[in-house]
Each structure stands twice: as structure tokens, then as C-alpha cells.
Amino acid sequence: MKLFQQMLVAPAALGLLASGANAAELNINGVSDYAASADQVTSVTQFSDVYPTDWAYQALSNLVEQYGCVAGYPNGTFRGNRAMTRYEAAALLNACLDRVTEVTDELRRLLKEFETELAILRGRVDGLEARVGELEATQFSTTTKLKGSTHWVLGAAKYHGEGSKAEATANGGTSFSYDLRLALETSFTGKDSLVTRLRSGNMNNIYGGNGVGLFGQEYGVNTDNAVVIDRLFYSFPLGDEFTIVGGPRVRMDNMLPVWPSAYPSDMTMDFFTYAGAPGAYNLALGGGAGIYWQTEGGFSVSTSYLSTDAELSDPNAGGLLTDAAGTSATTQIAYAPENWGIAGAFTYASGGEGGGALYGGNGTPGAVALSGSGNTYSYGLSAWWMPEDSGLIPSISAGWGLTDIPDPSISGVKEATTQSWYVGLEWSDVFVEGNSLGMAVGQPTFISDVDTKKGVDDFVAGSGYAWEFFYKFQVTDNITVTPAIHYLSKPYASQDSDGLNAMSGLIKTTFKF
């Protein structure tokens, strides 16, 4: 019988004492007669006058069956309705305390017998408390996580219209290529992050930007199978709401608290990954730093600066904060609650082929040439919304961008303006949970206005459209297979009705680990 259970007897017995305060008093001989005549029972059911419906049945059952210190009369009754004298209560309490004393003596014997073992356990507990205190003081140890992904792409393109034969001759074959990324994410405090990303690829084909640049994919890198350092930057919090990011190989979007789009979840055509504004979100890569403020309510403000040739010490060729530096400075204001958001961005870029230059997969040849010919002032406005549950309603993302080039270095051009836009839709859990279906349409960066010194508008060559359709099969948690179709209407912005059109089909297999 446990000591704790035995100690519970005392309140029960005292209660009996209290209930007997008004009872008629018996002499000591009556108590002796009661004690002598009482028979110890082992179950409350042995009392003929006690029923489960009695209000004190459970309490009496505990005293009899668990504590063994309640007796009945020889005739098998308990006489629960009979008044109890103080003497009878004293006898009952004494019997229960005797049982407690028996258990206490046994516990003392056990404590003495296991004194050595208890001392060892006490020492171990003290040691564990000290170790826990040390862990709480340090809280974190330096850790590094390896994350990797590789894309295998099998695809080809078809061309129609003016110039199709030349394009087919140069880039009309089927290609099979890859992109590999290995990221080492190290934390020293649990809140900071040092990112080192290695990259390799051999997309020396249309998906790497050869030929019609708009076929270029987000993962379309060609390093001739060499492994290069693609990212190297460090971020850490400053208080509860500020974060600082910087490094010698940091990309513009690494310094944004919010990316202004929900499309696409599975990267394909490069143009559709710039939130509709390749000028404002130019994804320039170089040395620099940024800071952003982000509240729990979803409001954020960020600003950053980088130079695409920060590693140079010659101020006439590059470096930081020089006239020759390939500067890209971006400020974004965004509001993004749980499933929707809106963002506006401004980017100043300079240095010709540096920060302001558009990648060929983001615009017409004329727009790309202008973007790399001088300082640019780019604006972007983006919005997105995602349904709370998967179903017939897709996520919707849209963006628009405008870039002003006030003094391009192209002969005969005084000033130029380019624009771009896109709308992307994506359905999640299509047919099978984890699979997704997406489509997007937009106009890659095109020249919307140009002021020539001779008053001639021949430099404006029109605009084209880009379409994308994909379906992602989630084969396992780490493997996806994505067939995609891309269609380009007049990617060279020809005003001729028989201008070049192109279509590409590919299958991308992605492994993540």
C-alpha cells in the first residue's frame, strides 16, 4: 500500500470525527465493546446495509478496500446511519494511523537500504541540471545544412516565318542538358545565415539563351561543366524587425523580404520569373549589401546596392560606388498578408553592360540593346493572390514594368522608354495532390517610345508575345517531372506579318535533396 494513499486516510478519519461531534456520548466501556465486536472486512459488499446508491458509498469503499482500517459488526452490518461518538471516531482514526505507521517504518527501511543508490541518482540529477543550464546559456551551436537540386532538360524548338531556316539550322536540334546547384547554409546563432552556393551546368543551347533569347530558362546556365561559386552572402537580424544582407556574390532578390509573385512554383521560362518587370527586378549579381524592415502584419520596406564588378580595384573599370561601377540600387515597398500581396519597386542602374543591362531572355533585341546603353530608371508594380484551398480557382499573379533610358549611348537616339507585363495562373493539386498546372502570357520588354535625333522612328520595331503552359508531376517528395510548352509570337518584334514565330517543347526532371 502506497504511503500517499495511506496519508489520505487522515482527512477521511477527521471527517468522521467532525460528523460525530453531535453524536450521543458513550462511556469507555461502549467503545471497548465496539472494538471487540467489530469484524474486519475486505470489501464494502460484505456490509448488508450499505448500497451503491448511498452518498458515502465510494468513500467507505476506499477506506475498506484500499486502506483496510474499517470494520463492521458481527451481524454483517455497518450501521452507517447510526450516530458516532468521539470515542468511536478516535478508535477508527487510531486504527488507520497504525496502518500509516506500518508503511512509514517500511519506507524508512527501504530508504536506508537504498541510500547509496539514491545518492548516485541525486548526483546524476545535479549533473544533468548543470548540463541543461549550460545548454540554455549557449542555446545554439554552429550548424551547416546542405541543400541541393539538379534539373535535367530534354527539349527542342520549331521555327516558322521569316528567318526560320537560319534559326533551325543553328538551333533546331534536340538537346539534353543539366543545371546543378549545391547550397551550404551555415548558422552561427540560430538566427543568422551564411549562404554559399555552388553551381554547374552545360546548357549551351536555346534554354541557356542561344538563338532566340526568349527561350532562355530560369535554370539555363552554362559553365562548361565547371563548378563556380554562384552565391556567397550573409544575413543577420538587427532587432526584431530589421535584417541586413550582404556579400561579395549576392543577387538583388536575396536582399528582398518579399518576392512579388506567386507564379510559378516550378521555374520554367525565365521572363515569367521577373514579376513582369525585368528592369526593376533585374536580378543583378555582384558585391553589395541591403537592409529591410518587415513587420508581423506583412508590411515591408527594403533598399539595397550592389555592383556587378565590385571585385575590381580600378575605379575606371568598376569597383564599388564609382562612376564606372555596374551599379544596381533597388528600393521596394510591399504589403503581403498570408495569401495575397502588392509591391512597388524602383531600380536605378548604371554602367552600361553592368547593372542595367537586360538578359537577352527578357526582351526584344532592340529593348535589350537600349537597356545596356546607359543609365536606366525602372519601375515595377506587381500583385498576387492565392486561394486558401486548392480547386478550380487558381493563384493569380500579375506585374507591369516601365524603364526610362534618358541618354542612351546608341547613335541617333536621344531617349527611350520600354515596357513589359505578364499574367500568370497556377492551379495546385490538379488531378493528384502535389501536382500543379500553370499558364502565363505576357509581353517581354519592348520599346514603347523612342526619341531619335533625326526624328525617325525606325528604331521602334514593334513587340511580341510569350506564352507558357506546364504541368508538374510530383513523383515523390524529392522528384518532379514537368512537361512544358512555350510559344513566342514575333520574338524579334518584327512588324512584318510573316515575322518569325517559334515554339518549344521540353521535359524537365528535377531532383531535390
pLDDT of residue 163: 83
What is the four-CA torsion angle of 122, 126, 127, 131, rounded to 10 degrees?
Answer: 150
The confidence score (pLDDT) of residue 19 equals: 41
**Mind listing the pLDDT tens digit for each residue in 79-100?**
878 887 888 788 877 877 777 7
Q: Does 397 have pLDDT greater than 70?
A: yes
Q: How remote is the C-alpha of 495 from its chain's centroid?
A: 46
Strands 340-349 and 327-335: antiparallel
pLDDT for 152-204, tens place per residue? 999 999 999 888 888 888 999 999 999 999 999 999 998 999 999 999 999 99
In the structure, what pLDDT confidence band is assigned to residue 474 with cuts at 50, 70 and 90?
very high
Best-predicted range by mean pLDDT (104-108, 275-279, 320-324, 359-363): 275-279
Residue 454 has pLDDT above 70, yes or no: no
* pLDDT at residue 148 in the model: 97
- Asked whether the predicted pLDDT for residue 302 surpasses 90, the reply is yes
User: 236-250, 365-379, 450-464: lowest mean pLDDT where?
Assistant: 450-464
- Output the pLDDT for position 16: 40
The SS3 assignment for 342 reads strand
Residue-by-residue DSSP string for 418-479:
EEEEEEEEEEES-SSTT-EEEEEEEEEEEEEEEEETTS--TT-----EEEEEEEEEE-SSSE
Give the chain's radius of gyration (CA, Å).
41
Average pLDDT for residues 119-148, to the nearest whole number? Answer: 84
Percent of the chain residues past pLDDT 70, beyond the cut: 87
Longest dimension (CA), the chain: 135
* Residue 466 and residue 444 in contact, taking contact as beta carbons nearer than 8 Å: yes
Binned at pLDDT 50, 70 and 90, residue 114 comes out as confident
pLDDT of residue 2: 43
Residue type, 152: W
Instruction: Give residue 249's pLDDT.
Output: 97
Asked if residue 36 has pLDDT above 70, the reply is no
- Confidence (pLDDT) at 1: 43
- Percent of the chain clearing pLDDT 90 (strictly above): 53
pLDDT value of residue 354: 55
Q: Which region holds residue 490: left if phi is over 0, alpha if psi is between -120 and 50, else beta? A: left
More reliable by pLDDT, 6 or 205:
205
Look up residue 497 and give its three cell numbers.
506579318
What letter represents residue 474's amino acid? Q
Residue 139: what pLDDT?
Answer: 65
Q: Which sign, positive or negative, has the C-alpha torsion 271, 275, 277, 283?
A: negative
pLDDT surpassing 80 at residue 418: yes
Q: Tell me, what's the pLDDT at 17?
A: 39
Grade residue 51 by pLDDT with cuts at 50, 70 and 90: confident
**Which residue bears the cell 554547374?**
200
* In the chain, ranges of CATH 2.40.160.10 domains: 140-512
Question: Nine-digit cell at 34?
Answer: 465496539
Report the SS3 class of residue 26.
Answer: coil
DSSP class of residue 392?
S
Domain covering 140-512: architecture: Beta Barrel (2.40)
Bridge partners (DSSP) of residue 345 are: 332, 380
Question: What are 476-488's pLDDT values in tens digits?
Answer: 999 999 999 999 9
pLDDT band, very low/low/confident/very high, at 52 (cuts 50, 70, 90)? confident
Look at residue 7 in the predicted model and tell me its pLDDT. Answer: 40
CB 443 within 8 A of CB 466: yes
Residues 6+ apart with CB under 8 A from 157: 171, 172, 206, 211, 212, 215, 502, 503, 504, 505
Q: Is the peptide bond before 315 cis (omega within 30 degrees of 0)?
A: no
Residue 3's pLDDT band, with cuts at 50, 70 and 90, is very low
Give the span between the Cα atoms of 112 and 62, in whole angstroms: 30
Predicted confidence (pLDDT) at residue 319 exceeds the cutoff of 50: yes
Q: Which residue has the higher pLDDT, 318 or 398?
A: 398
pLDDT band per the 50, 70, 90 thresholds, residue 149: very high
472 pLDDT tier (thresholds 50, 70, 90): very high
pLDDT surpassing 70 at residue 262:
yes
Q: What sign for the dihedral angle of Cα 37, 38, 40, 41?
A: positive
Q: Which residues pair with 190 in a beta bridge?
A: none
**What is the reported pTM?**
0.73
Nearest to 151 by CA among 486, 480, 505: 480
Closest alpha carbon to 491 in 456, 454, 463: 463
At 35 the pLDDT is 46
pLDDT for the residue numbered 21: 40
Reported as a pLDDT band with limits 50, 70 and 90, residue 457 is low
Indicate the range of 69-83, 291-305, 387-401, 420-434 predicted with least confidence.
69-83
Quote the CA–CA distance of 79 and 149 in Å, as a whole number: 83
- Does residue 20 have a pLDDT over 80? no
Average pLDDT over residues 234-248: 97
Average per-residue pLDDT for the chain: 85
Between 59 and 309, name the one with better pLDDT.
309
